[in-house]
């Protein structure tokens, strides 16, 4: 019992150290301000109406951060979303594993727009868009929304142009951006080289750098939303 208790305490201290060290590098760009680590968790209610993943029954999260990119407030976390299935032997399955953030926006419009950038062999496939109209598709990029919606006028050409330049290569497996009035959800799916904490293996520096480069590109685009 004492060994288990001591191991838990040491593990928590180590995880805190790893998170603090990596967060310092993740948000090193001076456009990130007011960065604060929290003990909060991402709850089902936080992602229940995200527009990308439906039927979420459980959320596992760690390293929840609040802050701003320029003047865009956001909440960031590493998390996994689990959806219900029809398989009685395996009633839940992972829908998403990666980096998630919820950023505030000043848009005024009705409905929801989802932009998905996927590989030829999709990973973490969105399951909340089956009944949505495809408003645009070109290569890896697909835009979903209400039939007839002028999504370009809503999200802006500068934003869309920058977002389309992001490619799901290297360690980024899929990118989904869900835009509502007031909130922008981003789901960045990654492989284990980015997601796994360095316990038995050293951190993959190239994979981490790949992630921070992706994150910078996504936030640069988000900052142009509506323009």
pLDDT digits (tens, 9 = 90+) for 138-182: 999 999 999 999 999 999 999 999 999 999 999 999 999 999 999
- Using alpha carbons, select from 107, 124, 132, 103 the residue that is nearest to residue 53: 124
Q: In 89-185, where does DSSP find H-type helix?
A: 151-155, 157-164
From residue 100, give the alpha-carbon distance in Å to each of 58, 65, 174, 219: 15, 10, 12, 12
Residue 220 clears pLDDT 70, i.e. is over it: yes
pLDDT exceeds 90 at position 226 = yes
Confidence (pLDDT) at 134: 96
Distances (CA, A) of 96 to 88, 131, 148: 21, 20, 29
**Cα 44-48-50 angle, rounded to 5 deg:** 125
Q: Which of 14, 13, 24, 9 is nearest to 208 (CA)?
A: 24
pLDDT number for residue 5: 55
The answer, yes or no, to whether residue 100 has pLDDT greater than 60, is yes
* 4-27 pLDDT tens trace: 555 556 677 888 888 999 999 999
Residue-wise pLDDT for 125-150, tens only, equals 999 998 999 999 999 999 999 999 99
**For residues 183 and 32, what is the distance between their CA atoms, to the nearest angstrom?**
18
Q: What is the pTM of this model?
A: 0.92
> Cα(79)–Cα(82) distance, rounded to whole angstroms?
10
> Would you state the pLDDT for residue 3?
55
pLDDT at residue 200, rounded to an integer? 75
């Amino acid at each position: 019992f004492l060994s288990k208790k001591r191991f838990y305490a040491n593990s928590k201290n180590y995880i805190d150290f790893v998170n603090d060290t990596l967060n310092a590098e993740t948000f090193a760009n001076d456009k990130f301000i007011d960065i604060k680590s929290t003990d909060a968790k991402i709850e089902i209610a936080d992602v229940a109406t995200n527009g990308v993943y439906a039927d979420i029954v459980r959320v596992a999260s760690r390293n929840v951060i609040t802050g701003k990119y320029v003047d865009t407030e956001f909440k960031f976390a590493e998390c996994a979303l689990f959806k219900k299935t029809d398989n009685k032997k395996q009633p839940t399955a992972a829908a998403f594993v990666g980096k998630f953030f919820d950023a505030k926006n000043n848009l005024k419009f009705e409905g929801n727009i989802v932009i998905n950038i996927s590989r030829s062999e999709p990973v973490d496939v969105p399951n909340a868009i089956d009944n949505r109209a495809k408003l645009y598709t070109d290569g890896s990029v697909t835009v979903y929304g209400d039939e007839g919606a002028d999504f370009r006028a809503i999200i802006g050409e500068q934003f869309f142009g920058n977002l389309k330049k992001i490619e799901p290569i290297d360690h980024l497996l899929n990118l989904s951006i869900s835009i509502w009035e007031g909130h922008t959800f981003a789901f960045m799916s990654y492989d284990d080289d980015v997601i796994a904490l360095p316990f038995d293996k050293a951190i993959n520096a190239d994979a981490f750098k790949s992630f921070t480069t992706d994150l910078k590109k996504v936030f640069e685009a988000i900052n142009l939303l509506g323009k």
